[in-house]
Structure 1
Amino acid sequence: MIMELMGKSWAWLRSGVSWVAVFAVLAAFGPALAEDGKDHRLLSRVAGTELLGQSIKQFGVVKPDVAGKLIKGVPESFEGRVTRTDYGTLEGQPPGEVKIYRSYLAAVKKLGGRALNSGVDFNDPTDLVTGAHVFALSAAERPPVAILNITNAHNYQLTIVEPEAMEEAVTAGQLTDQIKKAGFATLHINFDTGKAELKQDGLAAVKEIAAMLKSNPAMKLSIEGHTDGVGTPIANKQLSEARAKAVMGAVAALGIDAKRLSAVGYGQDKPVGDNRTEEGRAANRRVELVNVK
């Protein structure tokens, strides 16, 4: 039945029938398009639209193809927990491109956020479908980000990226096991772009490193910083060394003899992922704890 309907749907499309009509027929004869999906807790759907599909990744990197341009200082990509939801009208009047955009802009402002792209006529439906619209969802230093892609008057996709560390919380025992098996352990400690100051999740990792060293009094570590391939080799080496030294200093401050520690930065020289992809660059931004014998 569904295959027959799909065949008819294609014929209808060729004769000028809209996708809205096709979706309406499929909805009537088949299962719901997104039985388990629901609106994100930060932003709901535009009135009159239906949730058509949804995917969630616990960690991903999103680099939107932006309408106009990002305002100065905004990163080109965002990483964290990614919730991607498709919405559309299956029946009734579509909201239209302008209403879709204005609805989310108003909701974002209520959250204390703002639009992050400019250079588009936001009253022109044609301009609104030329690329993604990016919004910060709070005034925090690393806010959740919403990426709105308007397809047409009926359909749009909303992607929300909630920043979080790539690496799940580790324990001293896990670090010890990794080092004993491979000679090193890898941490994806979360630093702000271009900076070397440890954040809260980084300090949690530091406590586990110190706990491991206290449980293994003969162990010595080389703390090695690595970056992705964005930027110049010299700047990346300096940044990776500063980050490695920040970790080393924080570990020593927890009572570990500094003679058991050393720090070095390799910058972009030892990639483990493909720097041509966002996922590869995220993997390359890391700190390695190498056992020194």
Structure 2
Amino acid sequence: MAGSATHKNAIWSGGKSMGNAWLRRVRGAGVLVVAILATAVHAGGQNPDGFNTPGGYNIVRSETTDYGVSLARVVFQCLEKNAWVTCTPKLGPYSDAGVPKLEGRIEQVSYKAEKAGSSGILLFRNYERVISEMGGQLVARMFGHNERSGKLRFLFLIPGAQKKWVLFETWGLSDGEMNLTVITSADVPNVLTAGELKSQLDTAGFATLNINFDTNKTLVRDEDKPALDQVRDLLVSSPSLRLSVDGHTDNVGGTAANKQLSQGRANAIVEYLKRSGIEASRLKPQGFGAEAPIADNRTEEGRGKNRRVELVKLP
């Protein structure tokens, strides 16, 4: 199946992104986000992928940026050899002045306590404990933070195939308010052009689409529509071309469920292309589940490669 794993003790829960902005700036209380791909403001509020709302708090605002750069705008100190020193590029993704610069999928949420007098330091300790149980650790803090007042800005790192940077902050906010920013490292999305797809189909007979689906979902995401629009352009420019749209999963989960999931995703892509004006007779959706792996399913990297959609040239 596709998607990221969750931890049994985590404050995480699932989420998805929407939106259609190309470049915009989003300002939180302490974070500037330069959005390179779609940004969505979620009606009703939505937690970052994996997080739950802390007990006694409500979501005030939430936002997801598919790919962007997050700047904390203030100097941070890094923990090096049990001592706090000004962060440098040698210690991680920081500027020479010690300002964190984090790139990837950015999820931001603002919370407000239901009752006055909520403790920022107590809430921080809870996040620190949970992130530690997930294998993460505290790596940096804002210069001049004040634990006594509960005005804090801390940066955690959760290692893995995709690093997660978690910025916790109550600094500069009213009592009972906190912000959480989760940056998941990711490569800049690579959309194959119609010409590149045609070249791969002509030489290899197939091409792999650079698209993703939410965990256990078959809905085509907004951020993947540009890639499918290139498939449409390819088919328009090659009127005799017929394609099999083949869905594949990793080996996590049941055989029947994976087969059904991969078929549903192939069907969704074909439906999108049909709505774009492509005749159904030129497309054949197929779901293979985990039957045709191209990498080792025993590793997360291998499972990620096996979760894919391929276009195969039909005679």
Superposition TM-score, scaled by structure 2 size: 0.50
Q: Which of 253, 269, 286 is residue 247 of structure 1 equivalent to?
A: 269
Q: CA deviation at 1:180?
A: 0.6
Task: Say which SS state the counterpart of residue 226 (structure 2) adopts.
Answer: helix
8 Å CA contact 1:80, 1:163 repeated in 2: no
Q: CA deviation at 1:276?
A: 1.3
With over 3 angstroms needed to count, the CA separation of the structure-2 counterparts of 1:265 and 1:82, relative to structure 1, is farther
Matches within 5 A, 1:59-138: 69-71=9-11, 73=13, 87-88=78-79, 111-112=109-110, 132=132
8 Å CA contact 1:190, 1:201 repeated in 2: no
Q: Which residue matches 1:280?
A: 302
Deviations 1:76-119 (A, max 9, x none): 8xx98999x9931579779xxxxxxxxxxxxxx994279xxxxx
8 Å CA contact 2:295, 2:303 repeated in 1: yes
Aligned residue type for 1:267? G
- Structure 1 distance, partners of 2:263, 2:241, is 21
Q: Which residue matches 2:73?
A: none
Q: Which of 249, 253, 265 is residue 227 of structure 1 equivalent to?
A: 249
Correspondence 1:149 to 2:140 = no
Q: CA deviation at 1:205?
A: 1.4
Deviations 1:116-165 (A, max 9, x none): xxxxxx7999x95796367xxxxxxxxxxxx84148xxxx9624243767
- Structure 2 distance, partners of 1:213, 1:89, is 55
Q: Which of 201, 210, 233 is residue 223 of structure 2 equivalent to?
A: 201
Larger radius of gyration: 1
Q: Which of 229, 232, 237 is residue 210 of structure 1 equivalent to?
A: 232
Aligned residue type for 1:290? V
Q: Which residue matches 2:202?
A: 180
With over 3 angstroms needed to count, the CA separation of the structure-2 counterparts of 1:167 and 1:222, relative to structure 1, is farther
- Structure 1 distance, partners of 2:233, 2:123, is 57
8 Å CA contact 1:133, 1:148 repeated in 2: yes
8 Å CA contact 1:165, 1:188 repeated in 2: no
User: Unpaired runs of 5+ in structure 1?
Assistant: 1-60, 95-108, 115-121, 135-146
Task: Say which SS state the counterpart of residue 192 (structure 1) adopts.
Answer: coil
Deviations 1:195-234 (A, max 9, x none): 0000112211111111001111111000000011111111
- Structure 2 distance, partners of 1:93, 1:250, is 53
Correspondence 1:169 to 2:167 = no
8 Å CA contact 2:10, 2:131 repeated in 1: no
- Structure 2 distance, partners of 1:80, 1:282, is 19
- Structure 2 distance, partners of 1:286, 1:232, is 17
The answer to which of 191-200 and 85-94 deviates more is 85-94
Aligned residue type for 2:110? G
Aligned residue type for 1:184? F
Task: Say which SS state the counterpart of residue 69 (structure 1) adopts.
Answer: coil
Deviations 1:47-95 (A, max 9, x none): xxxxxxxxxxxxxx9879x6x712474578xx98999x9931579779x
- Structure 2 distance, partners of 1:232, 1:80, is 32
- Structure 2 distance, partners of 1:81, 1:278, is 24
- Structure 2 distance, partners of 1:266, 1:241, is 7
Task: Say which SS state the counterpart of residue 112 (structure 1) adopts.
Answer: strand
User: Unpaired runs of 5+ in structure 2?
Assistant: 15-48, 51-65, 71-75, 86-106, 113-121, 140-154, 158-163, 166-182
8 Å CA contact 2:192, 2:210 repeated in 1: no
8 Å CA contact 1:197, 1:243 repeated in 2: yes
- Structure 2 distance, partners of 1:232, 1:272, is 19
